[in-house]
Amino acid sequence: MRIGFTYDLKDDYLALGLAEHQVAEFDSASTIEAIARALTELGHEVERVGHVRALAARLVAGWRCDLVFNIAEGVAGFGRESQIPALLEAYEIPYTFSDPLTLALSLHKGMAKRVVRDAGIPTPDFAVVERPGDVNQIRMPFPVFVKPVAEGSSKGVSGVSMVLNATELAAGCLMLLDRYRQPVLVEEFLPGREFTVGIAGTGPEAAALGVMEIHLREEAEGAAYTRANKTMYEGRVAYTLVEDDKRDEAIDVALAAWRALGCRDAGRVDLRCDSRGAVNFLEVNPLAGLHPTHSDLVILCRLKGIGYQRLIETIVSLACDRVSGQNGSRRAARARTTGQPAQKVANDATRSSGS
């Protein structure tokens, strides 16, 4: 296929003067190279497009392709992850991963949790602070956890994100409001085990690739999977597959949330256990990181025996099958490849890992 590749390159935005914390979600050159190489080795012709404005210029000039592999996070606003998918839909070009509605909904953690809660899926109690005075209305027992409402890659999560009293809560919310210029999610802190579930597929066809537990070492910052811990994971974090009685519960919660939010193709759902050991939804990652060595979904797949190229192949195949099934169009038919259903990939991974 002729595949367009859309992304936000961290170096591009640093060159424009953005601060390091502002580009934390964007991808490194090594990630872009790894994805492009995997697609090329699978036999596709890859055209690197870049960010949304570069895509817009190409589309207006008449550029088209069979499929867009989209990992662009966008720069500003709750709809920033939705910009490229919306633009591609206007030009009827198929693309990987979730649609504009799901991307906007899942980016705003408060909105996503409302949908998940209404679907009957367990999630910790929460409040959204839009201005400093909102803190006075919060009636949750301490400790609580504070983070920006619409960031990924643990952006804005640090060793002081868990707060123990009203004074710390007010200070933490004020700092995040000022630094990130967006509301703050205040969430009941859950003291139990932390999991992430890799998922492949869409709707009833979605299946879990595996469940990975995140263990913080003594060298880790604070009691959370912070931005620093994630970035310097080799000395601070250990990852293991979950094979005990919590695995099925974690999969059930993750798939229920994935389907309730309308996520597609592949991604991750982050979970944590409460004081009773029950698994709760924290957030969904419909545009999960794809760095070839240190992104959580890639680490999970590696533990399950799923190589990087196979992960990329699975994403493309599932996207093409989904699009072809939705509209049966000539473009979608051209985009079809020899797909591997999500459940088959998950089953193969289970067999290869010996579980």
3-state secondary structure 57-84: HHHHCCCCCCEEEECCCCCCCCCHHHHH
Indicate the CATH number for domain 194-353.
3.30.470.20
Query: Where, residue-wise, is CATH 3.40.50.2300 in the chain?
Result: 2-106
Q: What is the pLDDT of residue 342?
A: 64
Reference 145, options 125, 121, 117; nearest CA is 125
Cβ atoms of 253 and 280 within 8 Å: the answer is yes
CB neighbours of residue 83 within 10 Å? 24
In this predicted structure, what is the pLDDT of residue 75?
A: 86
CA 12 – CA 151 distance, rounded (Å) = 19
Question: 314, 200 in Cβ contact below 8 A?
Answer: yes
Exposure of 202 by Cβ count < 10 A (0-12 exposed, 13-18 middle, 19+ buried)? buried
What is the CATH T-level fold of the domain 2-106, as seen in this structure?
Rossmann fold (3.40.50)
Question: Which pair of structure tokens corresponds to residue 322?
Answer: 């989904």
Q: What is the CATH number of domain 125-188?
A: 3.30.1490.20
The single-letter code of the amino acid at 152 is G
Query: How far apart, in whole angstroms, are the C-alpha atoms of residue 285 and residue 266?
Result: 9
Q: pLDDT digit of tens for each residue in the chain (355 aa)? A: 999 999 999 888 888 887 777 777 788 999 999 999 999 999 999 999 999 999 999 999 999 999 999 999 998 889 999 999 999 999 999 999 999 999 999 999 999 999 999 999 999 999 999 999 999 999 999 999 999 999 876 778 887 889 999 999 999 999 999 998 999 999 999 999 999 999 999 999 999 999 999 998 878 777 677 767 777 777 889 999 999 999 999 999 999 999 999 999 999 999 999 999 999 999 999 999 999 999 999 999 999 999 999 999 999 999 999 998 876 443 444 444 444 556 666 666 545 444 4
The confidence score (pLDDT) of residue 340 equals 54
Q: Do the Cβ atoms of 250 and 242 come closer than 8 Å?
A: yes
Return the pLDDT at 329.
43
pTM: 0.90
Domain with CATH 3.30.1490.20 in the chain: 125-188
Q: Are strands 2-6 and 266-273 parallel, antiparallel or unpaired?
A: unpaired
The partner residues of 195 in beta bridges, in order of sequence, read: 213, 271
322, containing H or E segment: helix 308-327
Q: Extract the tokens encoding 338.
A: 């020899």
Biggest CA–CA distance in the chain, Å, is 60
β-strands 67-70, 2-6 pairing: parallel
Cβ atoms of residues 249 and 277 within 8 Å: no
